A and B are shown apart, each in its own frame.
Chain A
Amino acid sequence: MIDPYWQVVDLDPVTWRQIGRFFDPGQYLRTAQSGEHGLFVLHEQGNVLRIVDSKTGVRCDIILKTINDPQASARQLYATGEWQRVHIIDKRHLNQVAHSAQASPRRELTLDQYYHEVYQLLWGEPDGYVSIPPHPGHWHGWRYQEIKELLADLSSTPISLALGVLEHERWSIGLILVCDQGLIRKVTTFEALDSSNIPTELSEQALTHFWQQIGQICAPPAGLLLCSSEVFEAWINQEEKIQILLAAREQGQAYWRWESANPIPNKE
């Protein structure tokens, strides 16, 4: 997805501050959630090395010397109800993940493919890293493989995808991606567009305006979504994405155009 030589230019600082939270690749890999009360048991081939509670620190009071069945131990600890998640981690597994991921220069992989490989290595060995509850296999309903395939299908020739999020009559996000051959070649913002007469409303007219502008300045658009910040948050964070957009369109809180035989992500 990510072109190793992508161009990232003309970034409106307001947009960039808004989307900064998506740049932590760890959030797409890990099960540990920020603020979550977790228990982490590090062992090496069954010998427990350290037990750490994310709130209280090292837990010497938990008598657990060996791990014979990591899944069972995790379930047992989780069943106590003390933690929102229990992690039982074999140090040798982490070692193997690191070693395998870096076995060669990996130049043939794009960065997202590389991190996806790390994800597969981390969760591919059932007893290497045991998490209860387990990794859901997606991020708020977004699935890497689906997005990657959609992008590849869409962009046999250069196309644009764009998103506008309106908040307090201002575009808090105005993001444009130019994609080609399944790769994101260029990332820019509404700042790259003609600044005169940029509409600051959610409407069909605004949709048409941006569609034309993006087509003239970037590449022929294949998809454009304009929505309110509330709709955007729901669309990002909830799994029933198309239902959220359909309901929002009924209320004039979302407008989109999708020029593809393929359905939009999460299937209409």
Chain B
Amino acid sequence: MTVQLTEMGLSIDGQEIPVYSGAVHYWRLERHLWPLILDRVQELGFGVIETYIPWSVHEIAPGSYDWGEQDTRKDVEAFMRLCEERGLWLLVRPGPLINAELTDFGFPEWVLLDPAVQAHTATGSLHLDAAWGLHPPHQFPVPSYASKKFYHYVEQWFASVCPLIARHLAPNGCVVAVQSDNETCYLFHDRAYATDYSQDSLALYRTFLQKRYGSLEQLNTLYHSDYTAFEEVEPPRDCQVSGRTDMAWHVDWISYKEYQIRWSVVVIARLLRAYGIEGVPIFHDVAFQFRTPLDIAALEREPDIDWVGMNLYRNTGGYRGAIQTIRYLAGTTRLPFVPEFGCGIWSHHSQTPTPDEQEFITLLTFMHGLKALSFYMLVERERWQGCPITRHGAFRPDYAAFYKRLLFFARQYQVWSMRRSPSALVLLNFDLGRYTALASTLHLAHSDLYGFPGELFQVDLDLGLRWDVAREADDRRHDNWSGTVLGILGTRQMDYDLADTHIDLERLSRYPLVFVPTVDFMDREDLARLLTYAERGGQLVIGPGLPYLDPALCPSDVATERITHQGQTQLGTGSVWWVSQDSLPAIVDTLAQQPEYTCDDSQVSLLTQKNADHTLLFLANPTAQQRAVQVRFAGQRHLKRVWGEACTCIGEQAVNLDIEPYTVQIWEVLA
């Protein structure tokens, strides 16, 4: 490939470029303002921009395209040439789904209204986008991503748009990466039994089962059923688990939903390649989901997908989620990338961020290891506000100042080359996520609007299990096993990454210490991989349970034949530690490397990053109060503040610092 993905960004014909990008929607801006707006983007310091190429905007009637002949704002090649003249690199996202707050999310209406395209819910109705979340200004029937007719339409669109993109691929052109679809996940109605029960989806489900089981006999044995053909298998349409024998049927449907997403993104990526997108990475952006139906580790292992990122829209109140996203990307993906990093917000969002909030959240994510991002949007347009540049090409001074500073700072310290040193990896147990998904109900259109408490959506299953699976599966809890691990690492200011049990052995092996919440059941392959990690020298901490079943609740001896008691079990050159929640503090103290720097205030986060030339110390105050803290270390340190008001301080064993509410301070360690 001409353009290669690296751990720091993109390598274009050997030239490393950081992916600090921002979105500019050419078709929504006056054509005569394009040069001015691109100049403004460069004035802020950006060398990369991103744009969608919206299907419905260009295909104005079936088979009839406007590439600027009728509306000059649609001349995307002219836009690309302007980028090329300025040396701006470009990420493009031709859909087919784009959202972009467009009416119908960028799908042509005749495609959506074709009955052969439409997704169906578990009740047999159509699935409208308004079913879940607010998506103004008009409801539309959601397409099935298993529909053959849908891909027929997509192929026609790609046959028109891809040759045009191909003419501008790097290194001769500006396009350095192309996205396959956008936030593929049932248009946000991602609950297990919500959708997609269309005929083509059910056919794909049955193909999936056939691949999984090979023979109908195997499926019948596991399902305790007597099907005579795969075509007879119907999926669950709500949680219908009345005993252990129902589990496989439900887990398979949940797994199919994950498969359908991966399959769709791959089909679209292959279509992009087939129509000329060669030599540049193809990437995908996940909306926000860490768990089923998104399986990010599996998606990135697909040979047709080079790179997966996760979008991030957070205000100050959502800082914990922002940190979790970045830790997860750092632990899971090739290049921690946020393809849509909130910069301003869509016009139907309840809280437009202030400039201070944008600064706080952005710096917080850099602090936790974000390596690549595209600010969405850099330039305002219809149905979007709060950006550094208005649609008229003027700077919005309150917002623009931060981005200019940020890009200057990033270049000065080559932030994209900085590395954290996480001492541990905490895995989310993917099977627990699936359990939560299957043991739930009310996946009905509009049930998000009624103000129901979360517990009303849950179903208690009586499966005779030894451990409290629902409790351990709830990753919002601070008082379960994994919540306790995260709490201990946080209060001890130990740096860690997050991932899930689907990551591969090579990635596991990067960490000396891995924590995994475990209960009665776990996927055999995932468990075997974790034990191999331990055999090869890793320290694997599991608990509160020891899996003796697989996710279908059939007996599994993968763990039990090698681990027989709580505490340490030596495996190869490493160990498995099966520990209760109460034992976790002692285990962390025993096994985790103590950080070089600590802070006496556990409400303040502290992390370091290093590259060949610099060591940066980040301190974040995510509270509403100013905090006076003591940063402790061994020996003497000379610190220089490099973000904010310039100053220096020297301390022996410690320095005292004041941190304003909701701010991040960055200090360079000079000696």
Q: Which residues of A contact B (CB under 8 A)?
A: 2-13, 16-17, 20-21, 23-26, 29-34, 38, 40, 42, 49-50, 52-54, 57-58, 91, 94-95, 97-107, 109-111, 114-115, 118, 122, 187
A228 vs B124: C-alpha distance in the bound complex, in angstroms?
Answer: 50
Stretch of B413-421, B443-451, B565-573 with 4 or more beta carbons under 8 angstroms from chain A: B443-451
Nearest neighbor of B355 in chain A, beta-carbon distance = A13
By secondary structure, the B interface counts as loop
Contact B452 A32 (CB under 8 A): yes
Residues of B within 8 A of A107 (CB): 109, 113, 138-140
Q: Check A16 against B347 for contact (C-beta < 8 Å).
A: yes
Of the listed stretches B129-137, B518-526, B600-608, name the one at the interface; the rest are far from the partner chain. Answer: B129-137
- Cβ contact of A23, chosen from B103, B349, B452, cutoff 8 A: B349
A50/B455 contact (C-beta < 8 A), A2-B137, A8-B382 known: yes
B456 within 8 A of A: yes
Give the docked Cα–Cα distance between A37 and B243 (Å): 34
User: Quick check: A94 and B447 within 8 Å, CB to CB?
Assistant: yes
Q: Which of B126, B352, B447 has the most CB of A within 10 A?
A: B352
Q: Is B453 an interface residue (CB 8 A)?
A: yes
Question: A149 to B136, alpha carbons, bound, how many Å?
Answer: 21
Beta-carbon contact of B456 and A7 below 8 Å: no
Residues of chain A contacted by B350 (CB below 8 angstroms): 20-21, 23-24
Which residue of the partner chain B has the closest CB to A100?
A: B125
How far apart sit A21 and B348, CA to CA, in the bound complex (Å)?
A: 10
- Asked whether, in the complex, the Cβ of A32 is within 8 Å of the Cβ of B456, the reply is no
24 contacts between A and B (CB under 8 A): A4-B103, A5-B103, A8-B347, A23-B134, A26-B449, A29-B446, A34-B451, A50-B458, A52-B453, A52-B456, A57-B455, A91-B441, A95-B444, A99-B121, A102-B126, A102-B127, A103-B126, A107-B139, A111-B130, A111-B137, A111-B138, A111-B139, A114-B130, A115-B130
B166 within 8 A of A: no
Complex contact B449–A98 (CB within 8 A): no
Which A-B residue pairs are the 8 nearest by beta carbons? A32-B451, A26-B449, A4-B138, A11-B385, A98-B445, A20-B350, A102-B125, A98-B444
**With a CB–CB cut-off of 8 A, which chain B residues contact A106?**
128, 139
Please tell me if the beta carbons of B137 and A114 are within 8 angstroms of each other in the complex: no
Say what secondary structure dominates the interface of chain A: mixed
Q: How far is the CA of A16 from the CA of B353 in the complex (A)?
A: 10
Residues of B within 8 A of A13 (CB): 344, 352, 354, 385-386, 396, 399
Q: Determine if B448 and A26 form an interchain contact, defined as CB atoms under 8 angstroms apart.
A: yes
Given contacts A50-B456, A114-B130, contact A29 B139 (CB under 8 A): no
Give the chain A neighbours of B386 by CB distance below 8 A: 11, 13, 16
Q: Are A25 and B385 in contact (CB under 8 A)?
A: no
B446 to A105, Cβ gap below 8 A? no
Q: In the complex, which residue of chain A has the Cβ closest to the Cβ of B135?
A: A111
State in angstroms the CA–CA spacing of A13 and B352 once bound together. 6
Q: Given the complex, which residues of A lie within 8 Å of B138, measured CB to CB?
A: 2, 4, 107, 110-111
Determine whether B141 belongs to the interface, using a CB cutoff of 8 Å to chain A.
yes
Given A30-B451, A32-B451, A95-B123, CB of A102 within 8 Å of CB of B445:
yes
Q: How far, in angstroms, from A32 to B447 measured CA to CA in the complex?
A: 12
* A118 B446 Cβ-Cβ under 8 A: yes
Out of A7, A20, A105, which one reaches B349, CB within 8 Å?
Answer: A20
By a CB distance below 8 angstroms, the chain B residues around A103 are 125-126
What total of A-B pairs shows CB separation below 8 Å?
Answer: 160
Flag whether B12 is at the interface (Cβ < 8 A). Answer: no
Name the CB-closest residue of A to B134: A25
Chain A, Cβ-Cβ closest to B124: A99
Complex CA–CA separation, A129 to B16 (angstroms) = 60
A98 touches B452 (CB 8 A): no
- In the complex the two chains form, is B123's CB within 8 Å of A98's CB? yes
On whether the beta carbons of B139 and A54 are closer than 8 Å, the reply is no
Q: B442–A94 contact, CB under 8 A?
A: yes
* A12 cross-chain contacts in B, Cβ below 8 A: 385
Query: Are B445 and A101 in touch, CB under 8 angstroms?
Result: yes
Task: Please name all residues of chain A whose beta carbon is closer than 8 Å to the beta carbon of B109 when the two chains form the complex.
Answer: 107
Residues of B close to A115: CB separation below 8 A: 130
How many angstroms from the CA of A2 to the CA of B136 in the assembled complex? 9
B351 CB–A CB distance under 8 Å: yes
- Please give me the residue from chain B that is nearest to A18 by CB atom: B352
Given contacts A16-B385, A95-B123, A105-B113, contact A5 B450 (CB under 8 A): no
Please encode chain B, from 339 to 379, with 1 for each CB lying within 8 Å of some chain A CB and 0 for all others.
00000100111111010000000000000000000000000
Q: Which residue of B lies closest to A54 (CB)?
A: B453
CB distance from B33 to the nearest CB of A (A): 14
Q: How far is the CB of B196 from chain A (nearest CB, A)?
A: 13
| Most chain A C-beta atoms within 10 Å of own C-beta, residue among B103, B121, B450, B459 | B450
C-alpha gap A100/B131 in the complex (Å): 12
Within 8 Å CB of A24, what residues of B? 134, 350
Chain B residues whose C-beta falls within 8 Å of the C-beta of A105 in the assembled complex: 112-113, 118, 126, 128, 139-141
Q: B347, B390, B396 — which one has the most chain A CB atoms within 10 A of its CB?
A: B347
Known: A30-B449, A95-B444, A98-B131. 9 other contacts (CB 8 A): A3-B137, A26-B448, A40-B453, A52-B453, A94-B447, A97-B444, A102-B121, A102-B131, A111-B139
Q: Let me know if A118 and B449 touch, CB within 8 A.
A: yes
Return chain B residues, CB-CB under 8 Å to A25: 134, 449
Q: Is B383 an interface residue (CB 8 A)?
A: yes
Q: Is B502 close to A, CB under 8 A?
A: no
CA of A103 to CA of B144, assembled, Å:
16
Q: Chain A residues near B113 (CB, 8 Å)?
A: 105, 107
A20 x B453 contact (CB < 8 A): no
The winner among A4, A12, A115 for most chain B CB atoms within 10 A is A4
- B391 on the A face (CB < 8 A): yes
Cross-chain contact of B352 among A4, A20, A33, A53 (Cβ < 8 A): A20
B137 touches A5 (CB 8 A): yes
Chain B residues, CB < 8 A from A97: 444-446
Q: Quick one: which of B87-144 are within 8 Å of A by CB?
A: 103, 109, 112-113, 118, 121, 123-128, 130-131, 134, 136-141
Residues of A within 8 A of B449 (CB): 25-26, 29-30, 118
Give the distance to chain A from B169, nearest Cβ to Cβ, in Å. 33
Q: Pick the contact of B451 from A7, A33, A53, A95 — CB < 8 Å?
A: A33
Minimum CB–CB distance from B385 to chain A (whole Å) comes to: 4
Interface centre among A7, A102, A110 (most CB of B within 10 A): A102
Asked if residues A26 and B349 are in contact (CB atoms below 8 Å), the reply is no
* A17 close to B126 (CB less than 8 A): no
Min distance, Cβ B465 to any Cβ of chain A, angstroms: 18
Which residues, 240 to 293 on B, are CB-close (under 8 Å) to A? none
Could you tell me the distance in whole angstroms from the C-beta of A253 to the nearest C-beta in chain B?
26
> Taking the nearest CB of chain A, how far is it from the CB of B577, in angstroms?
32
